[in-house]
Amino acid sequence: MIWFIVRRLIGLVLTLWVVFTVSFLLMRAVPGGPYSGERNLPPEIEENVKHRYRLDRPIYEQYGFELGNILSGDFGQSMRLYDFDVNQVIAQGLPISAALGIFALSFAVTLGLSAGIVSALYRGSLADWALMSLATIGIALPSFVIAGLSIMLFVFLIPVFPAAGWGTFRQLVLPAVCLGSLYAAEIARIARTGMLDAMSQDYVRTARAKGLSKLAVALRHALPGAMMPVVSFLGPAVAGILTGSVVIERIFAIPGLGWHFVQAALQRDYTLAMGLVLLYTLLLYTMNFLVDLSYGILDPRVELK
């Protein structure tokens, strides 16, 4: 167990370094720069600004300076948000994106597992057909299409939720549901397959032979085994929710990290884009690590190496 954690920590450091290096080189390889669009900026002021961020230095000096700042925990000053450094932007946007992502993931897991279990227990019934049909539609529709349809339905036709903004629970519900719908559909199909496979195992048939109810057998004995493929999906699902939140935050005007990531890419804000890329990498690596740890909890036969 200890060796497993040590290996993962070493892998995390190497992954962050590779992502930093590749991102740094790609940002500098794109023609132009953060201030190439400022046509009215006097040349002497542009030179002073470049000197401030060391953009006038050789590429290897820029790399060493930025890497040193990141190793010290300082992502530097934003090149476009002049009154904020990257750490402040992350501190303000991360709680908003985290709230949106956690709510969306909770919605996806709750709805997806419930639909998958019901569909498996009543295999071949009308409920099974209806739930899996809805899941197929949910998988086929991207999040921005679901968001557009939801806005037309629940904002204009049936004015239940606000169209955009942030600060109240009502403003959280609609974007979180739109973000989590695709993953709820995926989880429903995976959970159904996992439940059908688990309910065909000998230990489940033994539990059923002892006289336990169908629901008790499903929840106590079949569900832990059926959760394995669902847990495996949660790692990529977190990645999808993080990247998908960029679109959702843009549509619903939510001031989270996704909004800042889009602005950093459009405005070529090197420091802000780098900070957000490394933060996303850290979050994804951590979630995949937690998924691997959960294997040993769900199935004692799994040995972590």
Backbone angles phi, psi at 164, to 5 degrees: -160, 180
Q: 291 is written with which tokens?
A: 């998924």
| All structural domains of the chain with their residue ranges | 93-268
- Give SS3 for 85: strand
Q: What one-character DSSP code corresponds to residue 220?
A: I
Buried b (16+ CB within 10 A) or exposed e, 74-96: ebbbbbbbeebbbeebbeebbeb
CA–CA dist 162, 143 (Å, integer) = 18
What is the per-residue pLDDT for 111?
A: 92
The answer to whether residues 131 and 118 touch, using CB atoms and an 8 Å cutoff, is: yes
What is the per-residue pLDDT for 243?
A: 61
Fold classified for 93-268: MetI-like fold (1.10.3720)
Residues of the chain falling short of pLDDT 50? none
Q: What one-character DSSP code corresponds to residue 258?
A: H
CB-based contacts of 204, cutoff 8 Å, min separation 6 = 198, 217, 221, 222
